Amino acid sequence: MAASTTGPVAHHFDNLAQQQTTVRMGMWVFLVTEVLFFGGIMCAYTVYRIWFPRDFEAGSAALNVGIATVNTFLLLTSSLTITLGIRAAYAGNQKALKGWLLATIVLGSVFLGLKAREYHLDYQEGLMPTSKKVVVYEKDDEGQEHAIERSVFAINVERVLHEEKFDTAGVNTQRVQLFFIFYYAMTGLHVLHMVIGLGLLTWQLILAQRGFFQHTSRYVYIEVMSLYWHFVDLVWIFLLPLLYLAGSHTFEQAIHQFQHALGMH
Amino acid sequence: MFAAQDIALLPTAASEFAKDSDLLFWYINAVCTFGGAVVYLMIFASCFAFARRTPNDKTPRILGSTKLELAWSAVPMLFFLSFFVWGVKLYNDQVQVPPDAPEYFVAGKQWMWKVQHPDGQREINELHVPVNTTMKITGTSEDVIHDFGIPAFRSKFDVVPGRYTSTWYRPTKEGTYDIYCDQYCGQGHSQMIGKIHVLPQADYLAWKEGTFKSKEGKYVTDGSPAWEGRKLFLKLQCNACHNAESQARAPRLEGMFGTNRPLQGGRMVAFNEDYVRKSIRDPMADVADGWKPIMPAFPVSQVDEIELRNLVTYIKSLKPGDLPTRTEKFPAPLGAPTAGPSLSAPTPGGKN
Amino acid sequence: MAAAIPDLTYTPQSIPAPEPTEAQEEARVNYLNYDYTLMSWLLTVDHKRIGLLYLIFASIFFTMGAFAVSLVRLNLLSPTGAILELDQYNKAFTAHGTIMIFLFLIPVIPGVLGNFIVPMMIGAKDMAFPKLNLLSWYVWMAGAMFFLWQLAVGGLDTGWTFYPPYSSKYSHTNLTYAGLGIFITGFSSILTALNIIVTVHKMRCPGMTWGRLPLFVWAMYATSIIQILATPVLAVTVTLLAVEKTLGVGIFDPSLGGDPLLFQHMFWFYSHPAVYIMILPGMGVISEVITCFSRKNIFGYKAVAWSSVGIAVVGFLVWGHHMFLAGQGLYLSLVFSLITMLVAVPSAIKVFNWTATIYKGSISFEAPMIYALGFLFLFTIGGLTGLHLATAGTDIHLHDTYFVIAHFHFTMVGGMLMAWLAGLHYWWPKMTGRMYSDFWSRLAAVLAISGFFLTFIPQFIAGYNGMPRRYPNYNESYQLWNIMSTAGASIQGIGYTLPLFYLIASLFVGKRAGSNPWRATGLEWQTPSPPPMHNFDSIPIVYFAPYEYSIPNGLRALAASGMVLTESDHAAANGHAHGTHGTQGVPSGS
């Protein structure tokens, strides 16, 4: 399936082969920096996870693993669709290329939609790091009431963990808050990268619409796009066990959480 | 304009370690000076001997020499390794704190040094110590990272909030030396200057005599850190929960120091100074197995670092039977839980 | 269409290039004169113009950093602080450190010389990603402007190392936004490095094998590797610190459950390789200048090339030597001290190789060479005093004193800045087509070097005597050293200001340089000055290794000595020359 038409070569390159191999290498070098970036924050997370295993398990138990599971399948599938897009571009099949690009964009967008829903639920459940405190009245063993200042976050996370039937004995809510900082930071950075990726995919879709990829040698741009997209996927594959699978969840819980996400009950 | 003694040129070496440190320092200087001189001589000589004479001078086509590369990699490496080995030995010397030396405690705070002697005497920005006596110094910070540095001892160590760090000295030369803060800590960083006075033994004892006495006895003596800690233990009503009664709400603390205790969740923790300190500052962090997490936290505003250290020292000193009874009387601070069995009736023969 | 093969009977080392006439130069179109509009500059994708854009602003930022330190040094004339309040002093030294490191030392050689010269040295028409190159400049400008604005509206008083908990909890300055500015400039660093790596891999002209790369390219390549691996970690560290400050959570703050040492580990994991980012390009420049001005081959090409890579790799493993006193423990300190001794060796190897290069050379002392010799002299002191600090036992005394300040200024200023000036003076004729005043440039170099020496040698003494760093006030016994240091700084200042005048003057009244005023080897000298827009009129082909100063008659002499290709190889290369990339049909390298 040789390429039948070759696209123009930029002025500073000698030939097409040089241009293509340069573009590929550029993307790989860029991805190395991204590995170091996410690797850095994952290292910091790992250090705290090793020091405070119980509290990080608790934090993880409070997350919505149902949404995370569905999102994983969506993202993995989108990696497949973009790869099929490379094949389409190489073969010059414009219709298929646009279809696969669109499929990738749709799958990525659904991921982001579910992620937004997940953040919204987190917000509703009050799992947002805050230094706010409230005064609550608690009875001690002898039945006497006392006014105690409690952290808002602590109250919320305990309620959520209770619902998830997680034993909160010995859990330090200050540190669970630290877990949530990392959760929002890491997933937030991932979301940022996905948004950028979707933007780039959309741009490529528009270019495809304009016939940019008629020159089949330009399949290399779909290829480097897919490299970036695979990387974003790979980061998610690391985030899933680090963040979501630290605490134990049952299958029923996962389904229940996903239904809750969709507003079904 | 400058008198000779006003110019800092060769600093006094006022401790054991200072002498060892200087020896290594000057050894490194000697080797580097020699090596540097060889290189400089070559460069200098070449600049003269090989200055350009005509625009078309011929130069020999010398590409390199593997032998020379190996030689001038190996020889410096050997010297550097000698620096490393001696340096680690010296470093280890300072880092291995003699466990039974008298312990001084320093709390760094923006922007002052609070120091406490082994027998409880406190000083601010000053430290009087006897000459030729090994002493250990442990420190922490009440806010940001500081560094307790004494150039005359060639020694310094960071004092970090949230943990204890230590070093030791054996001052060998009488005199007064500067203490500097050697880790940038904000506006008053350069104002955190102290003085350490190394006194001959007789003078040191006299200094001490002029300020307080020390007592002998079975229990900790007045003015010592452990005694101060015991007073605080009662004042803060720790004994309301940490007592020897069967319905006590908190673990008994006697004889626990140096053992490993189980925590909720199955982990084990070493019952050491750091753990005790953390349990007072942040009791929800590592709750002992089998007990409810009901202990209130005591922040810096309520218990400063020196007081905290005294509590730690007190708890460390507890042997079975030493714990005060629940009813040992002391006025309760505001906000302390007052419910529970009455604290009012004093028991005869109660310790106070 | 057969490419023109450079005429190798004429070699620059034997016969100076024919100088162009004034009329010829006026008429010739080059990268500077083809369009004078502002937009042609702001939207350029030409690596040479981008290099000049970096030059203008790096010089401006250097001046700002120098102004900040002039306040510091003036204040230190008196033990009780001559002109500044405590707070102002803290902001001044922080501004000096951050501006010099992030806005000057790290970007200057990669941005100016890396962009301008590297593509030419490898015979390419441009960088691999010209548009990305321009974006890199804009990102740098955005980050720098934002950062400087933060310094102006309240300043930063944390020191360039901004350790928490001081920086996150106690300082009342704009750490978050200043950190954002640095974060953005970090991106620029990464993009430039990416460009250089891919360019060196993919854009070399025929015959330019790895073994024939000029050492400046090796140095830039090693620097770029460090940049892409280390800078993202700084980005993450600054992000986490900002999160801690804005949300009041305890990532590094012990009172909220965090660990301040974790910050130090993460910060120094970037910041130690960062010092190699700063020095390696300078070392590359020195290799170029020393060979040209001794008219001799580099001694130990492989050793110098591999030592750059060695420094880059081992430099990632030594960060803990900044933390010997932080409470990290004996074992870690031992490991880091040992590996630091290892990383000192490649730098020593370079110094020895350069010394051996000038031995039996034919040395002339124009400004670039004076700077290069100054580098050898000053950097060696800097490197040697690093040993006192790497030795864990002596570091206990020297940590956080003026000894450390003197050490890193000897390497960064006495080393890197002198190398930058050497490179600027060396390639100025190539970039602008003009020669500058020989007298004034030599004078400036001598003033800079001697002023520098006077500034920082007393600081070693003050430091050994215990004078701590970052002190606006100090003990009287240190005053003599401080006065000497400020005096030296004034002399240095003159030395750094003079180039502003004679270099700009050269643009108007300087002699036309011609393509190769220094009679140097290297592809960048085989094209007119200033270069045409696409650098070379035809693709160059490289036949032998760089720095062949010692051979008067180039190709014919080499062929006669049996060292290189035959006439038929020559002709074969002729036929395959145009449009090929890679080694097919091209003489293989050493």
Mean pLDDT by 10 residues, chain C (590 residues): 39 52 80 90 94 97 96 94 91 96 96 96 93 96 96 91 91 90 94 96 90 95 96 92 85 86 94 96 97 93 96 96 91 95 96 96 95 97 96 95 97 96 97 95 97 97 95 93 96 96 95 87 87 85 81 54 43 42 35
Contacts of C245 in chain A (CB under 8 A): none
Do residue B249 and residue B190 come from a single domain? no
**Rg of chain B on CA atoms, in Å:** 29
Which helix (H) or strand (E) segment is B180 a member of? strand B175-181
Pairing of strands B135-141, B103-109: parallel
Torsional class of A228: left (φ above 0), alpha (ψ -120 to 50), beta (otherwise): alpha
Nearest CA in chain C to B47: C363
In this complex, the residue of B284, B337, B340 whose CB is nearest that of residue A172 is B284
Integer Cα distance of C86 and C68 in angstroms: 15
pLDDT digits (tens, 9 = 90+) for B59-95: 888 889 999 999 999 999 999 999 999 999 999 999 9
Non-local (6+) Cβ contacts of C50 within 8 A are C44, C111, C115, C133, C134, C136, C137
pLDDT digits (tens, 9 = 90+) for B168-205: 999 999 999 999 999 999 999 999 999 998 988 887 87
**In this structure, is residue B333 part of a structural domain?**
no
> Residue B328: its pLDDT value, please?
62
State in Å, rounded, how far the first CA of chain A is from the last one.
Answer: 52
C287: nearest Cα among C375, C397, C206: C375
Integer Cα distance of C239 and C267 in angstroms: 11
Do residue B112 and residue B197 come from a single domain? yes
**In this structure, is residue B215 part of a structural domain?**
no
AA identity, residue B166: S
Helix axes A173-209, A53-61, angle to 10 degrees: 50
Question: How far apart are the CA of C240 and the nearest CA of chain A, in angstroms?
Answer: 8
Most B CBs within 10 A among A49, A50, A141, A145, hence the mutation to make, goes to A141
Expressed as residue numbers, the domain containing B43 is 16-49+66-95
> Residue B225: its pLDDT value, please?
73
> Residue C1: its pLDDT value, please?
33
- The CA–CA distances, whole Å, from B100 to B43, B88, B139 equal 55, 23, 17
> Which of B120-129, B264-273, C305-314 is most confident?
C305-314
**In this structure, is residue B11 part of a structural domain?**
no
Inter-chain contact A15–C581, Cβ cutoff 8 Å?
Answer: yes
Non-local (6+) Cβ contacts of C92 within 8 A are C68, C69, C71, C72, C75, C84
Non-local (6+) Cβ contacts of B128 within 8 A are B196, B197, B199, B204, B207
The average confidence (pLDDT) of chain B is 82
Contacts of B190 in chain C (CB under 8 A): 86, 468, 470-474
**In this structure, is residue A2 part of a structural domain?**
no
C107: nearest Cα among C75, C146, C61: C61
Whether the Cβ atoms of residue A174 and residue B284 lie closer than 8 Å to each other? yes
What is the mean predicted confidence (pLDDT) over B221-244? 75
Inter-chain contact C257–A17, Cβ cutoff 8 Å?
Answer: no
Q: Is B135 helix (H, G, I), strand (E, B) or coil?
A: strand
Which helix (H) or strand (E) segment is C71 a member of? helix C47-75
Q: Is B34 helix (H, G, I), strand (E, B) or coil?
A: helix
**Considering its fold, how many domains does chain A have in total?**
1
Most A CBs within 10 A among B284, B289, B334, hence the mutation to make, goes to B284
Q: Is B327 helix (H, G, I), strand (E, B) or coil?
A: coil
**In this structure, is residue A5 part of a structural domain?**
no
In this complex, the residue of C125, C128, C232 whose CB is nearest that of residue A40 is C232
Q: Within a 13 Å sphere around the CA of C242, how many CA atoms are in the beta-carbon half?
A: 17
**Is pLDDT at B332 greater than 60 in this prediction?**
no
Q: Kindly report the number of other CB atoms within 10 A of residue B187's CB atom.
A: 18
Inter-chain contact C90–B187, Cβ cutoff 8 Å?
Answer: yes
Do residue B287 and residue B239 come from a single domain? yes
In this complex, the residue of C127, C233, C257 whose CB is nearest that of residue A175 is C257
Integer Cα distance of B117 and C182 in angstroms: 45
Whether the Cβ atoms of residue C523 and residue C205 lie closer than 8 Å to each other? yes
Confidence of residue B327 (pLDDT cuts 50, 70, 90): low
Contacts of B151 in chain C (CB under 8 A): 397, 401, 465-466
**In this structure, is residue B156 part of a structural domain?**
yes
Integer Cα distance of A111 and A133 in angstroms: 34
Do residue B201 and residue B241 come from a single domain? no
Residue identified by tokens 């290369």 is C573
Cβ of residue A142 closer than 8 Å to a chain B Cβ: yes
> Residue B119: its pLDDT value, please?
76
Do residue B188 and residue B284 come from a single domain? no
> Residue A155: its pLDDT value, please?
84
Residue identified by tokens 């999102």 is A71
**Considering its fold, how many domains does chain B have in total?**
3
> Residue A2: its pLDDT value, please?
41
What predicted TM-score, i.e. pTM, was given to this entire model? Answer: 0.85
**In this structure, is residue A125 part of a structural domain?**
yes
> Residue A146: its pLDDT value, please?
77
**In this structure, is residue B336 part of a structural domain?**
no
> Residue C54: its pLDDT value, please?
97
DSSP B237-284: TGGGTSSSSTT-SS---TT-TTSEEEBTTS-EEE-SHHHHHHHHH-TT
**In this structure, is residue A42 part of a structural domain?**
yes
Question: How far apart are the CA of A171 and the nearest CA of chain B, in angstroms?
Answer: 7
**Is pLDDT at B293 greater than 50 in this prediction?**
yes
**In this structure, is residue A226 part of a structural domain?**
yes
Domain boundary among B74, B95, B116: B95
Most A CBs within 10 A among C229, C249, C264, hence the mutation to make, goes to C249
Most C CBs within 10 A among B33, B143, B165, B184, hence the mutation to make, goes to B184
Q: Is B147 helix (H, G, I), strand (E, B) or coil?
A: strand
**Rg of chain A on CA atoms, in Å:** 23
> Residue C545: its pLDDT value, please?
82
**In this structure, is residue A8 part of a structural domain?**
no
DSSP C426-463: HHHHHHHSB---HHHHHHHHHHHHHHHHHHHHHHHHHH
> Residue C553: its pLDDT value, please?
55
> Residue B2: its pLDDT value, please?
55
Whether the Cβ atoms of residue C248 and residue C331 lie closer than 8 Å to each other? no
What CATH number is given to the structural domain containing A46?
Answer: 1.20.120.80
What CATH number is given to the structural domain containing B196?
Answer: 2.60.40.420
In this complex, the residue of C202, C240, C257 whose CB is nearest that of residue A174 is C257
Inter-chain contact C203–A36, Cβ cutoff 8 Å?
Answer: no
Question: Which CATH code fits C40-509?
Answer: 1.20.210.10
Instruction: Output phi, psi for C534, to 5 deg.
Output: -100, 25
Q: Within a 13 Å sphere around the CA of B293, how many CA atoms are in the beta-carbon half?
A: 17
Query: Residues A37, A38, A43, A45: what is their CA dihedral angle, to the nearest 10 degrees?
Result: 130
Q: What is the ipTM of this complex?
A: 0.88
- The CA–CA distances, whole Å, from B125 to B122, B137, B305 equal 10, 15, 15
Domain boundary among B41, B76, B95: B95
Those residues of chain A that have pLDDT short of 50 are: 1-4
> Residue C509: its pLDDT value, please?
93
Do residue B179 and residue B275 come from a single domain? no
Which helix (H) or strand (E) segment is B175 a member of? strand B175-181
**In this structure, is residue A158 part of a structural domain?**
yes
Expressed as residue numbers, the domain containing A184 is 14-162+171-261
